[in-house]
Amino acid sequence: MKLNIKALLIITFLALFFIFGTYWAERKAPYYQLKTALNKIIVNKNKDYLITKAFDNSQLPVKKIDSVHLPLILSEYNLNGVINDKTKGAICSIDDIVIGVSWKGSFYSIDTKNNLVNNINITPPNNNQLKTAQITSDNRVYDIECKKNKNNNNIDLFISYDKVHKGKKYLILDMAVLDNNLLIIKEWNNLFISDPWQELDQNNGAGRIKILESGKILLSISHISDNPMSAQDSSTTHGKTVEVNPGTKEFSIFSSGHRNMQGIEQVESGAIYTTEHGPKGGDELNFLQENGNYGWPLYTHGGEYEAYGWRGNKLVGRHPYDDSFTGPLMSWVPSIATSNLIEVRDFHDRWNGDLLIGTLKNRSLYRIRIKNRHVVFSERIWIGDRIRDITRLIGKIALLTDSNKLLIISLDEKTLERNTRVHIDIRQDVLAKCTVCHHFGATNATSMAPSLSGLFDRSIGGDTGYERYSPALTSMQKKMWDIDSLKLFLKNPDKFSPGVYMPKVNLNPREIDQLIGLLSQNEIIE
């Protein structure tokens, strides 16, 4: 049967309309850019580059963070399934790409522009010993550092790690070269080997790497825990920083008298700042100078764990500032457990040039301003997680936590443009019934109850600083607080979650609505 020409034209037009309409709808869909980015990698037949996870922007967990001068947004990448080795690990960055490694040597990358998370097929130099390690004191990766070569766009990648050889443990610094697809094109090359630890269970507590403007590498090495005076022994690399020339492999001791250096940053002026763990208190921010002696274990602003003194010194906590020893710019007492630090650049004029220091124990960032080698101020910014490492991105800041998360800090431009800060007056009568036990701000070991700050940004029983939740609430941690669930909880806590520790508070319906309004007004992300 012959087709009518008019009918054929109508069918052809409808088919073309359907094909074009589908294509246009897909291009307009929110996931089009993400899908395109995925396809670019999927069609790459190189099996060394393996897709693990892809995130849509709208699906990333996001919450607001407040600071004195800037409103911030914190978005979260969950690395569970990408790496299985929680705690420790390290990150570095190239533009919008974060390169990470777990303490057992599993490499991954996060493209924060396109929200792509990939495993990278990089085998660390000491892979066999790392894979068989049971705990971090056996063998582990300490740090990685990376830098793009301006001449060929290749990436120089540095790694510090443990290696056991002939019954002794060493801290090793190696270098490899990657192409811009993060594939190794020049295998690992050993640059430096520390003096050995005599006991295999002794653990290096430093290993931080920094590429200096000179092209040389600065590496931190901790003291020997059983022999703290090793930090003052000029014949050993323990308790020192060493400067390594990656071209010639020559090295020299740069500074001494260190306990456990956790962070190194060279700022745009050329000055070098470091963070270091003290004993009980005495965590330090130091201005690092070549040939400087920073006093450990002779002097510290901390104290003994079992006593009130320090090594018999009568003037405990009086670190000398003279020609023989260099004292810190700042010390924290009690300890906050400092980690790595960066200089803030290209973020916002109110922060640019300041130091941003991560902490473990304090689960916060500290923004430090230095002028004429003096600390002008220190601002604590609550994050709520142990911050293991920190690195700069383009207009953003990345934090690696000990809970297998990568957190991205960006500027909350809409809130800053409105220039209106939501303020909760805790003296209000309805809040007074809550603040008998609860508080606002960071939770610590002395807190009677969880914080009310950021309540709608976290799971039920999810204040990471509070460790005395009832089993009734911890069993609900997969659920998030929302207005409806909080209203039910406030009406009758035990009915909402039988066995909860919180007693029923005498709140009428109007007070409950007022309280929820106060707690929720600063939590909604636009």
In one letter, which amino acid is 166?
A: K
Render 132-198 in DSSP notation, one character per residue. Answer: H-SSTTTS-EEEEEEEE-TTT--EEEEEEEEEEETTEEEEEEEEEEE-TTS-EEEEEEEEEEPPPBS
- Residue 478 belongs to some domain of the structure: yes
Q: Determine, yes or no, domain membership for 401.
A: no
Alpha carbon distances (Å) from 76 to 90, 133, 249, 368, 411? 17, 29, 39, 24, 15
Distances (CA, A) of 348 to 53, 410, 415, 416, 420: 31, 10, 14, 11, 18
434 assigned to some structural domain? yes
* Euclidean distance between CA atoms 312 and 309, whole angstroms: 6
**Within-domain flag for 458:** yes
Number of H helices, E strands in the chain: 9, 26
Q: What are the tokens at 155?
A: 């990436």
What CATH number corresponds to the domain at position 487? 1.10.760.10
Kindly list the distances between the CA atom of residue 396 and the CA atoms of 98, 99, 171, 407, 408, in Å, as whole numbers in the listed order. Answer: 11, 15, 32, 10, 7
Q: How far is it, in rounded angstroms, from Cα 525 to Cα 448?
A: 29
CA dihedral of 123, 126, 131, 137, whole degrees rounded to 10? -140
- pLDDT score, position 451: 85
Structural domain harbouring 456 = 429-520
pLDDT given for residue 523 in this prediction: 42
Sites in the chain below the pLDDT cut of 50: 1-3, 22-52, 56-58, 522-526
Q: What whole-number distance in Å separates Cα of residue 226 and Cα of residue 86?
A: 27
Here the tokens at position 462 are: 């999810």
62 contacts 76 by C-beta, under 8 angstroms: yes
Phi/psi zone of residue 446: left (φ > 0), alpha (ψ -120 to 50 degrees), beta? alpha
In-domain check, residue 488: yes
pLDDT at 426 (0 to 100): 62
In a domain, 506, yes or no: yes
- Residue 244 has a pLDDT of 98
Q: Which helix (H) or strand (E) holds 401?
A: strand 397-401
Place of tokens 């939770």: 443
Which residue in the block uniquely carries the two structure tokens 């039988």?
498
Question: What does the pLDDT read at residue 13?
Answer: 63
Specify the pLDDT at position 380. Answer: 95
* Strands lying side by side in the sheet with 387-392: 62-66, 71-78, 405-411, 397-401, 387-392
- Report how many domains make up the chain: 1
What lies within 8 Å, CB to CB, of 153 at 6+ separation is 180
Specify if 439 maps to a domain.
Answer: yes
The beta strand positions in 204-337, using DSSP E, are: 209-211, 217-221, 240-244, 251-256, 261-266, 272-276, 283-288, 330-332
Distance (Å) of CA 513 to CA 105, 500, 507: 51, 22, 10
Answer whether residue 244 is part of any domain: no
Instruction: Determine how many CB atoms are found less than 10 A away from the CB of residue 269.
Output: 7
For residue 77, the surrounding DSSP H or E stretch is strand 71-78
**pTM across the whole model:** 0.80
Q: What is the pLDDT of residue 437?
A: 87
| Secondary structure of residue 470 in the 3-state scheme | coil
